[in-house]
Structure 1
Amino acid sequence: MGDDGHEIIERPLVLVLMGVSGCGKTTVAEILTDRLGWAYEEGDTLHPKANVEKMASGHPLDDADRAPWLEKVADWIESRQDAGENGVITCSALKRAYREVLNRRGSGVEFVYLAGDKALIANRLASRKGHFMPTGLLDSQFDALQEPDADEPAVRVDITPAPRVIAQNILDKLGLDDPAERNAP
C-alpha cells in the first residue's frame, strides 16, 4: 500500500538495449537478465532471413527492410507487457521513428543507449566471430544513428568499461534492484 492507502501497482518494464552493431548489446543484455531474472530476447533472431542475407553480403538495411523486423520486436515487447512480465531485448533502434514503433503504447519501455566511440566499436567488430554483420557496415549504422532525445524514455550508458560495470551502471541509472544483491549475506 502507498502512503495514501491505495495499492501500488507495478507495471512491467521492458529494457531495449540499443546502439550500433558491436556496442555490446547482447553481452550486456545477458548479464542484466542473469542478474535480474527477466525474460530475454536477442533481437537479431527476429530478423527475416532476407535481412540477414542482405547484411551478410555487405549491404545496409533500409527502412522498408527494417519495418517487419521492428514489428516483431514490438510484438515481443508487448507480449511481455500483456503477460505482466519484465523483459530485456536487444535492438539497434537507431532512429527515433524506430523507437516510436517499439514503444507504440507510450509506456513500459526504457531504451538503454549503449554509446561509444566509432574506433572502439570498429575494433570490437573486427574481433567478433560468427556474426552476420560485417565491419564495413559500421559507417552506415553511425550515419543512421539518431541518439535519443531528452523527451524519450532513454538513458545513455558509456561502453568503455567492462561489460559487468556497464550492466551495473544501467541498474544504477534506472534504480533497478538486483535480486542477487538482495539475497547476499
Structure 2
Amino acid sequence: MSAPLIVVTGVSGSGKTTIGQKLAQRLVVPYAEADDFHPPRNVARMRAGVPLDDEDRRPWLDAIAGWLAEHTDGGGVVTCSALKRRYRDRLAAVSPDVFFLHLDGSAELIARRLEARRGHFMPARLLQSQIDALEPLEADESGQAIPIDGTPEETTTLALAAVREH
C-alpha cells in the first residue's frame, strides 16, 4: 500500500487542525489546513455569519482535491469539514488511498470549544448549520469516526490506530 492520504473531517470546532497536525507529525507526512484553501469570498461570508452553500464549497473542494492529488505518492494529512457524502466522494475520487477520519463529538462539547476559540473566522453561531448539513460516514466509505471526548493525544492515538488498521 502506498502512503495514506488522510482527510480529517468534522464540523468546525471538532479539532481537525489539532488532530491533523499531530497525526501528520506522527506519520511524518505533509499537512495542509483546509481553511487555507478557502477563497477570500468564502472567508468573508463566514465572518459575516453566512453559511456556505454547495457552490461556495466547489472551488474549495477542488483545491483540496488538488492537494491530495499532488501527494498521492508520499501521502499526507489534510483537514476538511467534508460534511456531505458528495464532498467526500469528490475528495475520494483522487485516489483509492484516501481515508477519512471523522472527528465525532456532542454538539455541547463542540459549542464549548468554539466559544473558547479566538481569532478564527468561523463564528460559533454557524455550528448548528454544520450539524444540520452533516451526513455521517457510510459503511461503504473508506474511513472511521473517532470520538473527541478525550485529550488531543488520546484522540490522535485513536486516529493513528484507525489509519494503521486501514
Q: TM class, shorter-chain normalised?
A: over 0.9
Per the normalisation by structure 2, the TM-score is 0.97
| Residue of structure 1 in register with 2:56 after alignment | 65
- Of 119, 122, 125, the residue aligned with 1:133 is 122
- Of 138, 144, 148, the residue aligned with 2:133 is 144
| TM-superposition CA deviations, 1:66-121 (whole Å, max 9, x none) | 0000000000001101xx11100000000000001111135010000000000000
User: Which whole-Å CA distance do the structure 2 matches of 1:175 and 1:62 have between them?
Assistant: 34
- Percent of aligned positions with the same letter in both sequences? 44
| TM-superposition CA deviations, 1:44-76 (whole Å, max 9, x none) | 100000000000000000000000000000000
Give the greater-gyration-radius structure (CA): 1
> 2:65·2:94 contact (CA, 8 Å) conserved in 1?
no
Structure 2 unaligned blocks of 5 or more? none
Amino acid at match of 1:16: V
Q: In the superposition, relative to structure 1, how do residues 106 and 78 fare at CA in structure 2: closer, same or farther (>3 Å)?
A: closer
Tell whether 2:45 aligns with 1:54. yes
Structure 1 unaligned blocks of 5 or more? 1-9, 177-185
- Of 26, 35, 43, the residue aligned with 1:35 is 26
3-state SS of 2:31 partner: strand
- Of 76, 79, 95, the residue aligned with 2:70 is 79
The runs of at least 4 aligned residues of structure 1 exceeding 3 Å deviation read: none
User: Which whole-Å CA distance do the structure 1 matches of 2:107 and 2:67 have between them?
Assistant: 30
Per the normalisation by structure 1, the TM-score is 0.87
Aligned CA-pair RMSD? 1.0
Amino acid at match of 2:51: P
Q: Which range moved further: 17-26 or 98-107?
A: 98-107
Amino acid at match of 1:37: V
3-state SS of 1:111 partner: strand
3-state SS of 1:161 partner: coil
The number of aligned residues is 165
